[in-house]
Amino acid sequence: MSDLIKLSLADIQKGLKAKKFSASEVTSAYLNEIDAANPKLNAYVSIENEQALSMAKASDEKLAKGEGGALEGVPLGIKDLFATKGAHTQAGSHILDGFKPEYESFITNNLWQDGAVMLGKLNMDEFAMGSSNETSYYGAVINPHRASGSNKDLVPGGSSGGSAAAVSAFLCAGATATDTGGSIRQPAAFTGTVGIKPTYGRCSRWGVVAFASSLDQAGPITRTVEDSALMLASMAGFDRLDSTSVDLAVPDFAAAIERGVKGLRIGVPKEYRMDGMPDEIEKLWQQGLAWLKDEGAIIKDISLPHTKYALPAYYIVAPAEASSNLARYDGVKYGLRVNGDSIDEMYENTRAAGFGAEVQRRVLIGTYVLSAGYYDAYYVKAQKVRTLIKRDFETVFNDGIDAILTPATPSAAFGVNDQEMKADPVKMYLNDIFTVTVNMAGLPAIAVPAGKDNAGLPLGLQLIGKPFDEETLFAAGRVIERSAGLDFTPKKWW
Amino acid sequence: MSLVDTRTPDPKKFIKGATGDWEMVIGLEIHAQITSESKLFSGSSTKFGNAPNSNVSFVDAAMPGMLPTINQECVRQAVRTGLGLKAKINNRSIFDRKNYFYPDLPQGYQISQFKDPIVGEGIVYLDMGKDGEVEIGIERLHLEQDAGKSIHDQHPNMSFIDLNRSGVALMEIVSKPDIRSSEEARTYIAKIRTILRYLGTCDGNMEQGSLRADINVSVRAPGGEFGTRCEIKNVNSMRFAVAAIEYEARRQIDILEDGGKIDQETRLFDSKSGKTRSMRSKEEAHDYRYFPDPDLLPLEFDDEFVAALAKDLPELPDEKHDRFVNEYSITSYDASVLISSRSNADFFENVAKGRDGKLSANWVINEFFGRLAKEELDVSNSPISAKQLGGIIDLISSSDISGKIAKDLFEIVWGEGGDPADIVEKRSMKQVSDTGAIEKMIDDIISANPEQVEKVKLKPQLIGWFVGQVMKASQGKANPQAVNKILKEKLGL
């Protein structure tokens, strides 16, 4: 039955409808695979066996009656950042020890309404702060991919490292993820999976533990572009409880995937050609442009002049919001409490013990940039930069560009416990160089696996779209996926 | 905010010091709880007095992933209040986070409005009686969340937290530093409270904490530069406000006259000792790290939204006052008393409609309000209705009863109820206006008292003795005007 876990979302559904297998069988197959793989990959922080089997059973009952939603019986993994009622929800942090919410996030609720089955909660960088999934209180996630001939552990990227690794290693049919500066797209690129960060406002943030509210956006990580479209269609939608949610109908994304790129104008931003960028990345980028051109797209050189300010501005805005968003983890109401002789001491003890080094670093940065006397120089200026970045994109889209093609990451996956990045956090932050601008501008972008480096490690390309035009991204992403025609199944070593 | 002095120094308000006169400068921040069913950003009830932590949603408790959603009713209430304060309504305002750690602040920040409040500058007029009208500038009004409550007396070394109030909508109404005495401050709070109650935007219950004030006090040489201010936090009664201001001004004067200087600080008023004490200095002041709340979009509405609210605004105290003076020909002072609350004003209008305004005002203010106050009642639970009081006044106007009898009648109606005209009829309380009957009584009295008749001719003011005799003979029912008239004729005065 191990073939069941290799099916795409669409094929699982077809098989279920044709009664070739049951939802319980698919779910069990995944649970068995998780049991075997998780001790090595550490993708799940919590495996919800009982809940998964009972949800699958409920799906089977519906399917037997010819009923069922768009994702009926499809087993999914859920990033630990999403509130799931009665289940582990700790944002990969020690400070939320034992926290099980009494509520379900808007997005997961949508998925369950559509019949999806929850396998468990996926590992992640603590509070989604990281690019390697090494800041998790639950330990690093290991990338299922290894360089050919090497047995060195690689990172799956972050912060949705658990989601990417689980999808790549067939530990779920698809996974929810979130992206604040690249946390869906970078891990997708590192694991040969498809990750889309939709337009800000497309998916409700209600019930998703906040990192940086103006940048956070949820999306799926899947093995194919089609699966991505199917999953996003279920996750997305207007939510009146999220003031930043946008009241727009959710298009039939799946209907757009085979639309092709004929006549589309694809922009190539010159500012994304970085000094010291590996040849393989440059070659991949050119290859991607060639594929799109072959299918009738028009390639245009464009300029996004404020790109170079995006990363520094991001590392002001995101920590600023995070420092405030994480103030609620104070030991008073839920999660970890480390007592002290006074309330201030209790706060200090709890937060010192509960937050890891990277979270503490960002809380400190955020507190600093919002402080009296520094606010204008940092936060206000960063917001101005943000406006300029947005304007860069508006200008090119107004000039007729339909989508922009860039590399997803400046390199393939790197090693676990990389000493250089450990010594210099900015080196780690540079992983997001191609992705943060998109969050700053609130735009949708998809990372699609497009090639492999010399060591056989997956590499991804990123397509950036107009606001609420995820359909074009699915169409163009599908062209890249089809043109690449590669198998990104990791060679099993675990 | 740049400080502008709008007032001319008034020697009557100066405080005598050892080195000369001093003048107080006062500005108030009034926190008024908005009257609404649910909280500013959640659906929880705002009901007062529920069991601790029973009005708490996931949002109020700041559970992970919870988001605020603006309550439109609170927005309407704030705009209505702004209109009542004759203030500029800002069609676009922004919610900011005010960050600080405290156990009864579950989010670790209060959602407030910092740079762009929903309401801008406005004006409030104070009727200071003999001193005339005083104009107090409103700097702004903004929306913000209330915090929860810390309870420190339930456990030897722990505090308890009640989040029922956490997230309840407040309006912070900030005055300009235009107030120059504790009496003006008291009148200002009372006026704001009256306006809020007229509008129905805040119940104004200071005992329950629905209305409380932070009072900024400084002193200076009359008309001089503004001094350094101290802020007295969370004063929850008008009496305490007066006491706190008086104490604080005197404290500052004593320091300055001893050659010291005032430290800008936050102070607390202790109602038991009547003193203020330091809470935290400027150096210890929180850096609130205000920034726009990314969970909320800017609050925007159009002119039509404001116009619709303006259209449905009730008549406000100032307008009602002026109308009462014009329509009922009553004094400005009486009008001020009558408009002190909407229900009082409505009662008066129900009495005065179609009747003599002055007479109605006298009766409503002196007899009716006086009696209510004595019995600690108010209009809503008064034993006497406007219709009944109007009936009594009708009987006075038609000369069926005298003012004195009317007071007896008022007592009867107050105690026993009933229709005043019926009571007068049944108990034969009507005054005697029948001149024949009065003449007969007068003739009897004149003939029985020849000495008095001689005296009154020399000293006409002795007529009062004859009036008294007639009233006695008639058991108070003779019409005093008729008695006077006939007496004068018969006595040849």
Q: Which of residues 82-121 of A touch B (CB under 8 A)?
A: 82-83, 89, 91, 96, 99, 101-103, 105
Which member of A103, A242, A379 has the closest CB to residue B58?
A: A103
Q: Do A243 and B109 touch (CB under 8 A)?
A: no
Residues with Cβ within 8 Å of residue B29, at least 6 apart in sequence: B172, B173, B174, B175, B213, B214, B215, B216
Which member of A82, A242, A327 has the closest CB to residue B109?
A: A327
User: By residue range, what is the domain housing residue B443?
Assistant: 435-491
Regarding whether B255 and B188 lie in a shared domain, the answer is yes
Regarding whether B191 and B162 lie in a shared domain, the answer is yes
Q: What mean pLDDT comes out for the span B76-80?
A: 98
Show which of B426, B458, B476 is a domain's final residue: B426
What pLDDT does A246 receive? 97
Which member of A91, A101, A243 has the closest CB to residue B70?
A: A243
- For the cut 60, the answer to whether the pLDDT of residue A4 exceeds it is yes
What pLDDT does B459 receive? 87
Q: Do B64 and A89 touch (CB under 8 A)?
A: yes
Nearest-angstrom CA–CA distance, A288 and A268 = 11
What pLDDT does A489 receive? 97
Q: What angle do CA B371, B210, B192 make, to 5 degrees?
A: 70
Residue range A28-39, pLDDT digits in tens = 999 999 999 999
Q: Do A324 and B99 touch (CB under 8 A)?
A: yes
Q: Do A241 and B69 touch (CB under 8 A)?
A: yes
- Taking the CA of residue B142 and the nearest CA in chain A, the distance in Å comes to 20
Which member of B67, B101, B297 has the closest CB to residue A330?
A: B101
Paired tokens of A104 = 């379900």
Please state whether beta strands B169-175 and B21-33 pair in parallel, antiparallel, or not at all (unpaired): antiparallel
Residue range B152-203, pLDDT digits in tens = 999 988 899 999 999 999 999 999 999 999 999 999 999 999 999 999 999 9
Show which of B426, B451, B477 is a domain's final residue: B426
Contact status of A209 with chain B (Cβ, < 8 Å): yes
Q: Is residue B102 part of a domain?
A: yes
Interface probe with B: pick from A238, A242, A330, A348, most Cβ of B within 10 Å? A330
Residue B460's domain is classified under what CATH number? Answer: 1.10.10
* Active site residue ranges of A: 79, 159, 183
By C-alpha distance, the chain A residue nearest B285 is: A372
- One-letter amino acid identity for A345? E
Q: What mean pLDDT comes out for the span A456-483?
A: 98
Chain B residues with CB under 8 Å of A213 CB are: 294-295
- Taking the CA of residue B418 and the nearest CA in chain A, the distance in Å comes to 57
Please, what is the average pLDDT of chain A? 97
Report the share of chain B in percent with pLDDT over 90. 79
- For the cut 90, the answer to whether the pLDDT of residue B48 exceeds it is no
Chain A residues with CB under 8 Å of B294 CB are: 212-214, 244, 321
**Cα atoms in the Cβ-side hemisphere of radius 13 Å centred on B275:** 6
Chain A residues with CB under 8 Å of B66 CB are: 206-207
Regarding whether B271 and B182 lie in a shared domain, the answer is yes
Encode A118-140: b = buried (16+ Cβ within 10 Å), e = exposed. bbbbbbbbbbbbbbbbbbbbbeb
Q: Do A242 and B107 touch (CB under 8 A)?
A: no
Q: Do A240 and B58 touch (CB under 8 A)?
A: no
Regarding whether B441 and B411 lie in a shared domain, the answer is no
Regarding whether B322 and B467 lie in a shared domain, the answer is no
Q: Is residue B3 part of a domain?
A: no
Which member of B62, B103, B295 has the closest CB to residue A343?
A: B103
By C-alpha distance, the chain B residue nearest A242 is: B67
Q: Is residue B389 part of a domain?
A: yes
Q: Do A330 and B103 touch (CB under 8 A)?
A: yes
With CA atoms as reference, report the closest residue to B32 among B127, B138, B105: B138
Paired tokens of A468 = 């609420």
Q: Is residue B395 part of a domain?
A: yes
Q: Is residue B142 part of a domain?
A: yes
With CA atoms as reference, report the closest residue to A139 among A405, A356, A353: A356
Contact status of A384 with chain B (Cβ, < 8 Å): no
What pLDDT does B130 receive? 86
As to burial, measured by CB atoms within 10 angstroms (0-12 exposed, 13-18 middle, 19+ buried), residue A333 is middle
Radius of gyration of chain A (CA): 21
Residue range A428-466, pLDDT digits in tens = 888 899 999 999 999 999 999 999 999 999 999 999 999
Chain B residues with CB under 8 Å of A101 CB are: 58, 63-65
Model confidence at A2, pLDDT cuts 50, 70, 90, reads: low
Ranges A201-210, B123-132, B478-487: which has the least confidence: B478-487
CB B66 within 8 A of CB B175: no
Q: Do B108 and A214 touch (CB under 8 A)?
A: no
Domain count, chain B: 3
What pLDDT does B1 receive? 57
- Taking the CA of residue B201 and the nearest CA in chain A, the distance in Å comes to 25
Which member of B103, B289, B297 has the closest CB to residue A332?
A: B103
Regarding whether B169 and B124 lie in a shared domain, the answer is yes
Q: Do A212 and B294 touch (CB under 8 A)?
A: yes
Residue range A186-195, pLDDT digits in tens = 999 999 999 9
Regarding whether B226 and B92 lie in a shared domain, the answer is yes
The residues on B that touch A, with CB distances below 8 Å, are 58, 61-70, 97, 99, 101, 103, 106-109, 159, 161, 287, 289-291, 294-297
- One-letter amino acid identity for B472? K
Residues with Cβ within 8 Å of residue B450, at least 6 apart in sequence: none
Question: Tokens 């003979």 sit at which residue?
Answer: B473
With CA atoms as reference, report the closest residue to A159 among A103, A221, A114, A117: A221
- Taking the CA of residue A41 and the nearest CA in chain B, the distance in Å comes to 27
Interface probe with B: pick from A84, A103, A205, A324, most Cβ of B within 10 Å? A324
Q: Is residue B377 part of a domain?
A: yes
Q: What mean pLDDT comes out for the span B223-242?
A: 95
Residues with Cβ within 8 Å of residue B433, at least 6 apart in sequence: B399, B479, B482
What pLDDT does A425 receive? 85
Encode B475-490: b = buried (16+ Cβ within 10 Å), e = exposed. ebbbbbebbbebbeee
Report the share of chain B in percent with pLDDT over 70. 100
A269-277 long-range contacts, CB within 8 A, separation 24+? A269/A302, A269/A303, A269/A304, A269/A307, A269/A396, A269/A404, A269/A406, A270/A301, A270/A302, A270/A303, A271/A303, A271/A304, A271/A305, A271/A307, A271/A308, A272/A304, A272/A307, A272/A406, A272/A407, A272/A434, A274/A410, A274/A433, A277/A407, A277/A410
**Cα atoms in the Cβ-side hemisphere of radius 13 Å centred on A7:** 25
Residues with Cβ within 8 Å of residue A243, at least 6 apart in sequence: B67, B68, B69, B70, B295, B296, B297
- For the cut 50, the answer to whether the pLDDT of residue B132 exceeds it is yes
Regarding whether B103 and B165 lie in a shared domain, the answer is yes
Regarding whether B242 and B110 lie in a shared domain, the answer is yes
- Taking the CA of residue B411 and the nearest CA in chain A, the distance in Å comes to 59
Residue A376 DSSP class? I
Interface probe with B: pick from A100, A102, A243, most Cβ of B within 10 Å? A243
Regarding whether B293 and B179 lie in a shared domain, the answer is yes
Regarding whether B213 and B96 lie in a shared domain, the answer is yes
B1 vs B240: which has the higher pLDDT? B240
If you count them, how many residues does chain A have? 494
CB B227 within 8 A of CB B32: no
Q: Do A206 and B64 touch (CB under 8 A)?
A: no
Q: Is residue B2 part of a domain?
A: no
CA B212 to centroid of chain Cα atoms = 14
What pLDDT does A411 receive? 92
Q: Is residue B4 part of a domain?
A: no
Nearest-angstrom CA–CA distance, A36 and A118 = 18
Contact status of A243 with chain B (Cβ, < 8 Å): yes
Ranges A231-235, B115-119, B150-154, B239-243: which has the least confidence: B150-154
Q: Strands, DSSP E only, in A402-473?
A: 403-407, 445-452, 458-465
Chain A residues with CB under 8 Å of B295 CB are: 210, 213, 243-244
Handedness of CA B306, B312, B313, B315 (dihedral sign): positive
Residue range A341-382, pLDDT digits in tens = 999 999 999 999 999 999 999 999 999 999 999 999 999 999
Ranges A125-129, A231-235, B124-128, B461-465: which has the least confidence: B461-465
- Taking the CA of residue B263 and the nearest CA in chain A, the distance in Å comes to 20
Regarding whether B486 and B386 lie in a shared domain, the answer is no
Chain B residues with CB under 8 Å of A96 CB are: 64
Contact status of A242 with chain B (Cβ, < 8 Å): yes
- For the cut 60, the answer to whether the pLDDT of residue A1 exceeds it is no
- For the cut 90, the answer to whether the pLDDT of residue A222 exceeds it is yes
Chain B residues with CB under 8 Å of A370 CB are: 99, 289-291
Show which of B394, B426, B458 is a domain's final residue: B426
Residue A270 CB coordination number (10 Å): 11
By C-alpha distance, the chain A residue nearest B42 is: A241
Chain A residues with CB under 8 Å of B297 CB are: 243-244
Chain A residues with CB under 8 Å of B287 CB are: 371-372
